[in-house]
Amino acid sequence: MAARNKARKRAFQILFEADQRGADVQSVLADWMRHARTDPRQPPVNEYTLELVEGYADHTERIDELIATYSVDWELDRMPVVDRNILRLGAYELIWVDGTPDAVAIDEAVQLAKEFSTDDSPAFVNGLLGRLKELKPGLRREMR
């Protein structure tokens, strides 16, 4: 498994855990990092995982607003927890990470949905992130 793929999976797991626990994502990240330092069986949190989680944390409100606005017939809090966090990670990487091609960000999110969610989730994730990709130029202008 490629390093960035593993990093995305870990970032998703951190976001998911924070959501499930109702905890701050940066606190969960710190727990993972502390655990990796004290338990040799726990792999370290790599730089890209750190970048993804901290980037999401910096833009949480805007990312959740975008997901809520463009997810047809789904309220954010009623969305499956797995899908919600895959979308959060995918939206952050798609809109804010310049070094990742849009198609890669979307495909990686779809792969996470295939691995961790329901049979309907990959299409849902693909559709919503595809819509955000279409809107990306305007969204990026808003960020300036």
The reported pLDDT for the residue numbered 119 is 97
pLDDT for residue 116 is more than 90: yes
Considering only CA atoms, give the Rg of the chain: 15
Q: Rounded to whole angstroms, how far apart are CA atoms 35 and 29?
A: 10
The reported pLDDT for the residue numbered 139 is 87
Kindly state the average pLDDT of the residues 32-46. 93
pLDDT for residue 37 is more than 80: yes
Coil, strand, or helix at residue 2? Answer: coil
pLDDT for residue 98 is more than 90: yes
Lowest mean pLDDT among 72-81, 96-105, 121-130: 72-81
Q: Look over the chain and give the mean of its residue pLDDT values, rounded to a whole number.
A: 95
- Dig out the tokens for 127 from the structure: 């559709």
The reported pLDDT for the residue numbered 73 is 84
Q: Using CB atoms within 10 Å of the CB of residue 142, give its burial: 0 to 12 exposed, 13 to 18 middle, 19+ buried.
A: exposed
CB-CB contact of 54 with 97 (8 Å) = no
| Residue 30, φ and ψ in degrees, nearest 5 | -60, -40
Q: Rounded to whole angstroms, how far apart are CA atoms 94 and 133?
A: 7
pLDDT category, 1, cuts 50, 70, 90?
low
CB-CB contact of 126 with 103 (8 Å) = no
Q: Rounded to whole angstroms, how far apart are CA atoms 33 and 54?
A: 13
pLDDT for residue 144 is more than 80: no
pLDDT tens, 72-92?
888 999 999 999 999 999 999
The reported pLDDT for the residue numbered 38 is 94
